[in-house]
Structure 1
C-alpha cells in the first residue's frame, strides 16, 4: 500500500473512531483476516476499544501485515476452533488477556459461540457483547437460542452487499486461474453452486456471464425459487447436482459436502469453497480411500480406483490465494464493526441478536464516500 493510500485509510478510520468512540472504552479481542490492508482496521479497533489481542484467521495471514500489527504493540495469538470450543480453556484464555474488564468480542465465523454462555457466567469481568462479521458466524450465534449477551451482526447489513458481490468475483477469478493453470477453462463447463445466499447468488451470476451452465442447490426452498426466477437450474437433490458438475463451488456457510458426497463427483471435477475446509467440507475420512497428489500449485488430485477429482487450495477459501481483494468497499464493513463495538460499550442492548441502526449506517456510508468516491 502506497504512503498516500495508507494515510487516507488511517484518516478514514480516525474519523469513524472519533464519531463512534464511547465515553468509556471497553477491552476487546479481535479475530480477523490479517490481509495487507488490515493493519489500518486494527488501528481503528485500538482507537474505539482497548485492544488486548489480535487472533488472525490461520489461512489468511499476510506476513507483512502481521509484522506491522505486532510492531504497533499488539499481540498476535494463534487462533483455532479448539481454543474456544472447550469452555474451561476459553475462560482461561480471556482471563489471561482481560481479567476483570468489560470486554467486547470481535468475531469472524462464530469462534466464540461454543463457549459464550460459560464466558458470560464465569469470566471475572463482563462480556458486554459480540460483533459478528459473517453469515456463517451469524447462524452459529442464532443457533444458540437464548443468548447470554447482545450479539451485533453485520453479516446482513446493506453495507456488506458490495463486499459480497466483489468476493464472488474474486472467488470466480481464483477458481478460473487455478483451472487455467492445468489447461482447463470455465467456458462451456457445468457448475454446481451450493448455497444461494448473497455470495452464492453472486457467484452463480458471474459464472453464467462466463458461459458456464449453472445449477444451484440450497436447502432453503425460498432460495431455490429465487434461483429459478433468475434463470438457473435447481438440482432436485445434492446427489443429482453433483453428478453433472465439472466445478463445485461451496458457498453455504455450513457443511456442504459430507464424506459420501465426494464419491458422487464426476471424474475430473474441481471443488472449491468460499470459507474454509473445516466449515464446508468433511475431508477427514477421504484420506483412507483416496490417494492425494499435488498436480499443480494449490491443486490436489484425489484418486481412487476408477474415480478422481481435484480440490483447490486444500479446501480453504480459494480467493485468498490472490489476496481476496474487494477494494475499498471492505472498509464499509470494518467501519460498521467499529460502530457496533461502540454501541455495545454504550449499553442498553438486551441479550439477543441485533443490527446497527440505519442512522449509524448512513453516517458510515457518507464518511466513506468523502474518502473513496474520488
Structure 2
C-alpha cells in the first residue's frame, strides 16, 4: 500500500468523531455541488477531513498553508476522484502561491484556511472569484487576528466562521495539541533532554499554557514571558517564573515562541543567549524569530535535519525548522496528535456545512461557531470514549432560569 494511504488509514482509526460525521454526510449529501477551496497543512489528519467533505458531495481543491508542512506522500494519495491536491513540501514562494492560484482557479464557493493566505490572495489578487463565494472557515489564531483586522477595515467581503475560537479548539487543539506535538518535534529533532532544562515559553495564551504545562511535566524549569498583565499573573499563579524576554535570554537553553506576533527573538536577545541555545517557533508564521538577522549577520556553520546552526563570537545558536511551525516543519514533525485533530476537524466539517446552509444570510465579517455544534462534537467524542455525563432535571432547569429565588 502507498505510504501516504497507510498514514491516512492509521489516522482514520483514531478519529471517531469525523467518522460519524462522514457517515451522516454520505447519507445526506449536504455539500453536493459545492466546490471547496482549502489551504491547510497537508498531512494525514487533514486528509481525513478532506475525504469527509468529499464524501458529503463536495469537489475539493487543496494546497498547503506552510512551505514545510506538507507530507508529499499524503498529498499524492489525496489526488483521487473529486479531490485535487496541489501541495508540495519545501516549495518556493512562487510555487506556494501557484498552489493557491490553482485552488482559486476552481472557483470555490467555500474557503477553508489555516493562516488566511487563501482569503488574503482571493481579496487582493483574485477578486474575480469573490462574487461566487458563500463564506469561509479559519482554523488558527493568526488567521483570526488577520481576519478581524481585515473586517475592522471593512475589507472582508464575505462571512467567515472562526473555527479557532471555539472551546473545542482552545481546550484541546491549542493546549494539548500544540503542547505535546511541539515538544515531541523538538525532542525528535535535537535528541536533547527536556528534564532539568531552562525552557522559555514566549506567550501564555492557550498554546503557551499547554507548552509550559507539558514541559514542566517532563521536568523542565519553565520561564514564561508575556505582554498581557492578566496572562502574566495567571502564569505566576500557575507556578511559572515570569519575566521579560530580555531577562530570560541569558537563562534559557530552549526558547519556544507562541505569540503569533513579529520580532519576539531578535539581535538584542541573541547577543545575551548562552552557547548552544535552541530556538523554535510554535506560532503559525515564521516571523517570531529574526532568522533573517542571523542569516545576514552570523556565520552559518551547519544545516541538517531541520536544524540551522549559527555562530557569532564564541557562541552557537541553533534554529529549528527555519523558524517555522516546529511541530510540522521539521522533517520528523507529525503535527498535532490524531485524537486532537479529530475534534478540530470535526468543527471544520460542521462549520463548512453551516456555511453552506447559512452563508447567504450572514453579513461579511467573522462569526462564532454556534455553541450547539461545539457541544455536539464533545458529546460524540464522550460517547466514543464510553463516558456519560449528567443532565439537568426539570427542577434544576427552572431554578437556573429563575430570578425570583433568593436567600
Question: Which category of TM-score, normalised to the shorter sequence, fits these structures?
Answer: 0.7 to 0.9
Closer, same or farther in 2 for the Cα pair 1:16/1:350, shift >3 Å?
farther
Look up the match of 1:249. 256
Counterpart of 2:274 in structure 1 is 266
CA contact (8 A) 1:84 1:111 kept: no
Give unmatched runs, 5+ long, in structure 2: 1-5, 388-407
Name the residue aligned to 2:354: 343
Match in the other structure for 1:225: 233
Q: Which residue in the other structure is 1:109 paired with? A: 115
In the other structure, the counterpart of 2:106 is: 97
1:308 aligns with 2:303: no
SS in 2 for 1:61: coil
After superposition, residues 1-374 of structure 1 pair within 5 angstroms as: 1=6, 6=12, 11-15=19-23, 17=25, 22=30, 25-48=33-56, 50-57=58-65, 58-78=67-87, 96-98=105-107, 103-115=109-121, 117-118=123-124, 122-123=128-129, 125-144=131-150, 145=152, 146=154, 147-160=156-169, 161-164=171-174, 165-179=176-190, 181=191, 184-235=192-243, 237-255=244-262, 256-275=264-283, 278-294=286-302, 297-320=305-328, 321-347=332-358, 348-371=361-384, 373=386
- 2: distance between equivalents of 1:224 and 1:192? 13
Deviation at residue 327 of structure 1 after TM alignment: 2.7
How many residues of Structure 1 are paired with residues of Structure 2 in the alignment? 365
Q: Please say if residues 110 and 136 of structure 2, whose CA atoms lie closer than 8 Å, have aligned partners that are also in contact.
A: yes
Determine the structure 1 residue equivalent to 2:396: none
Deviations, residues 149-183 of structure 1 (Å, cap 9, x unaligned): 2111111212122222133012123323444x3xx
Closer/same/farther in 2, CA of residues 52 and 301 from structure 1, 3 Å limit: same
TM-score of the superposed pair, with normalisation by structure 2: 0.78
The alignment's C-alpha RMSD in Å is 3.2
TM-score (norm 1): 0.85
2:55 and 2:333 mapped to 1: Cα distance?
30
Comparing 136-145 and 285-294, the one that deviates more? 285-294
- Secondary structure at the aligned position of 1:71 is classed as coil
| Bigger fraction of residues in strand | 1
- Shift in Å at residue 11 of structure 1? 3.8
Confirm or deny: 8 A CA contact 2:181 2:336 kept in the other structure.
yes
Q: Distance in 1 between matches of 2:87 and 2:11?
A: 29
SS of aligned partner of 2:83: coil
The answer on whether the counterparts of 1:106 and 1:130 sit within 8 Å (CA) in structure 2 is: yes
- Paired residues of 2:36 and 2:112 also in contact (CA < 8 A): yes
Moved more, 292-301 or 114-123: 114-123
Change over 3 Å in CA distance of 1:137–1:16 after alignment to 2: farther
Pair 22,287 (structure 1): closer, same or farther in 2 beyond 3 Å: same
Superposed CA deviations along residues 97-134 of structure 1, whole A, max 9, x for unmatched, are 21xxx611100012135345447964364222220011
**Equivalents in 2 of 1:4, 1:223: separation in Å?**
38
